[in-house]
Structure 1
Amino acid sequence: MQSFGKKGEDLAVSFLKKKGYRILHRNFRYKKSEIDIICSKAGLLVFVEVKSRSSKAFGQPESFVSKSQEQAILKASEAFVLDEDWHGDIRFDIIAIYKNGQIEEIEHFEDAFY
């Protein structure tokens, strides 16, 4: 059985593709850091953190990205930018997915941090 987190990432990839993003990498690792999705659209490189929750009872999914996690994502993104010799603009997004009964709801927060 597929974990809810993995299913959430798959939903996020489908969502981004429908919005015209090109998926470049999933689960990019740099040392102990991981970026869920790296994608591009219109010359912009976007690093996406996916947060999935079974309900909003303990807060919004997007609120679960801590400052230390933001720092880890930043370090990993710097490594990716250097590896790929990227010289364009970048952005950090959060995709929040939560279940409302049988329905998964998706919210996309562009330019969520940094």
Structure 2
Amino acid sequence: MSTSQGRSGEDLASSYLSRRGYTILGRNLRLGRGELDIIACSETLLLFVEVKTHKTRESGLLAVNEDKCARLYSAAEAWLAKHPAYAGLQCRFDLIIVTPRMGLPRWLPPRIEHMKDIIN
């Protein structure tokens, strides 16, 4: 997918999280050895969200390998070091996969799948 499609997927993911009561704290931040697509929080939970906009769910899943998870963790540690006020919240790493509805009318929105706690 192109960069513009990736940004569009991140916009959809941010809206999805906002509708579920999360506050978006940041997007597309390069820290540590990685990049954080979305940082969001609720009263008790801090989310580090990786967004994958792919043609298929499977290719989105394959893009989040062990090395990618290590880079996400490094970036999250760097973000928390810069924002100690959030250190008391429970942290979770989530994945949102955005896939277009192939062959269906264009007015149907892309599919959004939210997978919680992808890094243990």
- TM-score scaled by structure 1? 0.89
Counterpart Cα distance in 1 of 2:73 and 2:32 = 12
Letter in 1 for 2:111: E
Question: 2:83 maps to which residue?
Answer: 84
Matched residue of 1:100: which SS?
A: coil
- What is the Cα deviation at residue 60 of structure 1? 4.7
Q: Given the alignment, which residue of 90, 107, 117 partners 1:111?
A: 117
- Return structure 1 stretches of 4+ with deviation > 6 angstroms: none
State the identity as a percent. Answer: 35
Matched residue of 1:75: which SS?
A: helix
Counterpart Cα distance in 2 of 1:110 and 1:42 = 17
Matched, 1:7 2:21: no
User: What does 1:4-83 correspond to in 2, within 5 Å?
Assistant: 4-56=5-57, 59-83=58-82
Letter in 2 for 1:27: N
- TM-score scaled by structure 2? 0.85
Letter in 2 for 1:53: H
- What is the Cα deviation at residue 42 of structure 1? 2.6
- What is the Cα deviation at residue 36 of structure 1? 0.1
- What is the Cα deviation at residue 62 of structure 1? 2.9
Q: Any conservation in 2 of the 1:55–1:100 contact (CA below 8 Å)?
A: no
- What is the Cα deviation at residue 100 of structure 1? 1.3
Counterpart Cα distance in 1 of 2:68 and 2:48 = 13
**Could you list the runs of 5+ residues in structure 1 that have no partner in the other structure?**
none
Deviation digits for residues 31-50 of structure 1 (CA, Å, limit 9, x no counterpart): 44101000001321110000
Deviation digits for residues 36-78 of structure 1 (CA, Å, limit 9, x no counterpart): 000001321110000111234xx25233201101000000100
